[in-house]
Amino acid sequence: AQSVAQPEDQVNVAEGNPLTVKCTYSVSGNPYLFWYVQYPNRGLQFLLKYITGDNLVKGSYGFEAEFNKSQTSFHLKKPSALVSDSALYFCAVRDDSNFNKFYFGSGTKLNVKP
Amino acid sequence: DAMVIQNPRYQVTQFGKPVTLSCSQTLNHNVMYWYQQKSSQAPKLLFHYYDKDFNNEADTPDNFQSRRPNTSFCFLDIRSPGLGDAAMYLCATSKQGDSQPQHFGDGTRLSIL
pLDDT tens readout for residues B43-87: 999 999 999 999 999 999 999 999 999 999 999 999 999 999 999
Q: Give bridge partners of residue B54 from the DSSP assignment.
A: B49
- Count helices and strands (H / E) in chain B: 0, 11
Q: Which has the closest alpha carbon to A98: B64, B57, B61? A: B57
Q: To the nearest whole number, what is the mean pLDDT of chain B? A: 94
* Residue B2: predicted pLDDT: 63
* Cα gap A77→A92, rounded to integer Å: 16
Give the closest of A32, A46, A107 to B98, CB-based: A32
Q: Does the beta carbon of B45 lie under 8 angstroms from any beta carbon of chain A?
A: yes
Residues of B in contact with A32 (CB under 8 A): 98-99
Mean pLDDT of B15-29: 96
B90 vs A44: CB contact, 8 Å cut-off?
A: yes
Q: Which of A52 and A33 is assigned the larger pLDDT? A: A33
- Which pLDDT tens digit goes with each residue over B82-111? 999 999 999 999 998 768 899 999 999 999
Our measurement of the distance from residue B42's CA atom to the centroid of its chain's CA atoms, rounded to an integer in Å, reads 14
Our measurement of the distance from residue A91's CA atom to the centroid of its chain's CA atoms, rounded to an integer in Å, reads 4
CB distance B81 to A23 below 8 Å: no
| B104/chain A closest Cα distance in angstroms | 5
* Residue A29: predicted pLDDT: 85
Residues of B in contact with A53 (CB under 8 A): none
B55 vs A46: CB contact, 8 Å cut-off?
A: no
Residues of B in contact with A104 (CB under 8 A): 42-43
